[in-house]
């Protein structure tokens, strides 16, 4: 009897915002391993196909600053150790992000996959799943055999993409064909909020991938927007096409060029999906709206794109403009939470809120307010017509549940401020109006205002008025 195929799964996923001054330590990562990792949809798919799946570790963290060298090496060593313990495998399925930047090492994914290759040898096929916001380094394309990225932003196809990475791997293993991925990088770096995949021109570009996939000799295609708030040489969009074997490499390269050119040609057509403008203008629009809740994204300090989430500027403006019935989710400030706890529920205090981590874009804001609620890791402080959620741990604001933890139902408020960019499906459902405040911060949408030193130039929109054509195939 032929023994079943063996496939190892695992990965390290991180979106690193290099403008965030706070580096990311090991405590930020949540690790899934063993039986729990076999619950992953991609693993279940492989098991269903009769494959023996061997789990390693899958570590993920909320987007944040550059990953500390020792934290990354700890995760890498653990993954490689487990990989060498499991013995020979036919293939690997690695779940990565694509925009992990490691202190003193640089591109994390390239380093990790290189390490994996050294452990397993040249023979096993390596299939990688990526976030659409990955900044892909050419060496990753050389080490991995297949790479496939999400096709939706906001992301609703993450698990589906990991299953696809597994399916591509199995397909190639069964047919004993080594795929060849090719990549063309158009010199365009757009903030994610400009590329919402059900809005044109992104919608058309992403639907064009289906036609590429159906081309004989092509296995799969991906279009990555990249991570705009990463000052690294590989930061840009990427068009990736996977050739079914070496003999189809030329065809794949041609398709990747066409896709990259289409993205380049559309660069000036991308626009915000919702009304966007300066903070005060957005607050005034929200105030004058007859319906609520109006969601305002404090987009310059978007936690889900790696900003600290402690810039209090929008709170200052809400108070200055005298809004009623607003809630801010949230400001990271363990010290302010502690002072609220010392004061106790129902009591008044004067406290400096936020502005302690991102000191480039914020400064501590003195607020006089009353403590409405205390939780395990936060407090709600009412100042004027604004309920400010303060947290002692950094957290993303992507679900209604996140507010309910603090006894707040956003659906019942007039104005809901979130440290976010485009709204998640959960928020979209209840928002009567969505506005994007173009606020300063580590995820400033106007990326020309940030100081880039390491990206390759020219790069649109930092540079304009230059022309570009895909490089000649070699
Ligand atoms: Zn993403």
Shared domain for 243 and 296, answered yes or no, is no
Distance, in Å, from the CA atom of 255 to the CA atom of 400, rounded to the nearest integer, reads 41
Q: What is the pLDDT of residue 2?
A: 74
Among 206, 240, 265, give the residue marking a domain's end.
Answer: 265
Residue 144 alpha carbon to ligand 1 centre in Å: 20
Q: What is the pLDDT of residue 474?
A: 56
Shared domain for 342 and 231, answered yes or no, is no
Give a yes or no: residue 18 inside a domain.
yes
Distance, in Å, from the CA atom of 297 to the CA atom of 422, rounded to the nearest integer, reads 7
Residue 298 has pLDDT above 60, yes or no: yes
Give a yes or no: residue 177 inside a domain.
yes
Shared domain for 280 and 416, answered yes or no, is yes
Shared domain for 226 and 137, answered yes or no, is yes
12 membership: H or E segment, kind and range: strand 6-13
Shared domain for 122 and 228, answered yes or no, is yes
Distance, in Å, from the CA atom of 178 to the CA atom of 65, rounded to the nearest integer, reads 36
Distance, in Å, from the CA atom of 195 to the CA atom of 60, rounded to the nearest integer, reads 24
Q: At what angle do helices 41-48 and 158-175 cross, to 10 degrees?
A: 30
Residue 97 alpha carbon to ligand 1 centre in Å: 8
Give a yes or no: residue 472 inside a domain.
no
Give a yes or no: residue 454 inside a domain.
no
Residue 350 alpha carbon to ligand 1 centre in Å: 38
Shared domain for 200 and 315, answered yes or no, is no
Residue 345 alpha carbon to ligand 1 centre in Å: 38
Give a yes or no: residue 35 inside a domain.
yes
Q: Give me the mean pLDDT over the 129-134 stretch.
A: 98
- Give pLDDT tens digits for 177-214: 999 999 999 999 999 999 999 999 999 999 999 999 99
Shared domain for 255 and 389, answered yes or no, is no
188 backbone dihedrals φ, ψ, rounded to 5°: -135, 130
Enclosing domain of residue 126: 6-265
Q: Give me the mean pLDDT over the 413-427 stretch.
A: 96
Q: In the chain, what is the straight-line distance between the N-terminal and C-terminal CA atoms, in Å?
A: 44
Of 57, 139, 47, residue with least CA distance to 94 = 57
Give a yes or no: residue 462 inside a domain.
no
Shared domain for 155 and 12, answered yes or no, is yes
Q: Is there a contact between 95 and 13 (Cβ–Cβ < 8 Å)?
A: yes
Distance, in Å, from the CA atom of 343 to the CA atom of 381, rounded to the nearest integer, reads 11
Shared domain for 173 and 287, answered yes or no, is no
Give a yes or no: residue 255 inside a domain.
yes
Residue 68 alpha carbon to ligand 1 centre in Å: 21
Residue 474 alpha carbon to ligand 1 centre in Å: 31
Q: Is there a contact between 329 and 405 (Cβ–Cβ < 8 Å)?
A: no
Q: What is the pLDDT of residue 434?
A: 98
Residue 296 alpha carbon to ligand 1 centre in Å: 20
Residue 155 alpha carbon to ligand 1 centre in Å: 7
Distance, in Å, from the CA atom of 208 to the CA atom of 210, rounded to the nearest integer, reads 5
Give a yes or no: residue 270 inside a domain.
no
Shared domain for 221 and 316, answered yes or no, is no
Residue 368 per-residue DSSP state: E
Shared domain for 159 and 284, answered yes or no, is no
> CA of 82: how far to CAs of 8, 45, 455, in Å?
10, 22, 35
Q: What is the pLDDT of residue 1?
A: 67
- Give pLDDT tens digits for 313-348: 999 999 999 999 999 999 999 999 999 999 999 999
Shared domain for 234 and 257, answered yes or no, is yes
Mean pLDDT for all residues in the chain? 97
Q: Give me the mean pLDDT over the 382-386 stretch.
A: 97
């Amino acid at each position: 009897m032929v023994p079943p195929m063996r496939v190892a799964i695992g990965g390290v996923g991180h979106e690193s915002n290099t403008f965030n001054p706070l580096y990311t330590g090991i405590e930020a990562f949540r690790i899934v391993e063993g039986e729990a990792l076999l619950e992953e949809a991609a693993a279940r798919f492989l098991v269903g196909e009769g494959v023996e799946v061997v789990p390693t570790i899958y570590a993920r963290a909320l987007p944040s600053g550059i990953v500390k060298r020792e934290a990354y090496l700890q995760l890498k060593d653990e993954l490689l150790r487990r990989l060498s313990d499991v013995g020979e495998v036919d293939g690997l399925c690695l779940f990565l992000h694509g925009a992990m930047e490691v202190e003193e090492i640089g591109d994390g994914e390239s380093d990790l996959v290189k390490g994996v290759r050294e452990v397993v040898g040249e023979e096993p096929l390596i299939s990688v799943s990526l976030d659409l916001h990955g900044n892909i380094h050419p060496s990753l394309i050389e080490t991995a055999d297949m790479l496939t990225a999400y096709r939706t932003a906001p992301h609703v196809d993450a698990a589906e993409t990991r299953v696809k990475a597994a399916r591509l791997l199995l397909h190639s293993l069964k047919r004993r064909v080594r795929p060849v991925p090719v990549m063309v990088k158009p010199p365009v770096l757009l903030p994610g909020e400009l590329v919402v995949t059900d809005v044109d021109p992104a919608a058309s570009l992403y639907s064009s991938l289906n036609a590429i996939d159906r081309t004989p000799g092509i296995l799969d295609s991906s279009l990555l927007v990249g991570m705009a708030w990463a000052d690294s040489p590989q930061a840009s969009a990427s068009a990736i096409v996977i050739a079914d074997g070496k003999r189809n490499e030329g065809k794949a390269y041609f398709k990747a060029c066409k896709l990259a050119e289409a993205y380049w040609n559309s660069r000036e057509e991308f626009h915000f999906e919702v009304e966007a403008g300066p903070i005060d203008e957005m607050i005034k629009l929200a105030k004058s709206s007859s319906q609520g809740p109006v969601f305002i994204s404090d987009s310059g300090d978007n936690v889900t794109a790696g900003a600290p989430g402690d810039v209090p500027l929008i709170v200052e403006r809400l108070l200055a403009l005298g809004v009623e019935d607003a809630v801010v989710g949230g400001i990271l400030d363990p010290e302010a939470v502690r002072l609220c706890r010392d004061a106790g529920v129902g009591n008044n205090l004067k406290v400096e809120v936020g502005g302690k981590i991102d000191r480039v874009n914020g400064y501590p804001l003195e607020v006089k307010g009353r403590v409405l609620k205390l939780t395990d890791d936060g407090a709600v402080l009412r100042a004027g017509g604004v309920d400010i959620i303060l947290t002692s741990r950094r957290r993303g604001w992507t679900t209604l549940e996140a507010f309910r933890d603090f006894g707040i139902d956003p659906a019942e408020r007039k104005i809901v401020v979130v440290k976010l960019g485009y709204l998640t499906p959960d928020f979209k459902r209840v928002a009567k109006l969505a506005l994007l405040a173009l606020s300063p911060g580590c995820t400033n949408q106007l990326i020309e205002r940030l100081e880039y030193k390491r990206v390759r130039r020219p790069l649109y929109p930092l540079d304009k008025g230059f022309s570009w054509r895909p490089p000649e195939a070699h």
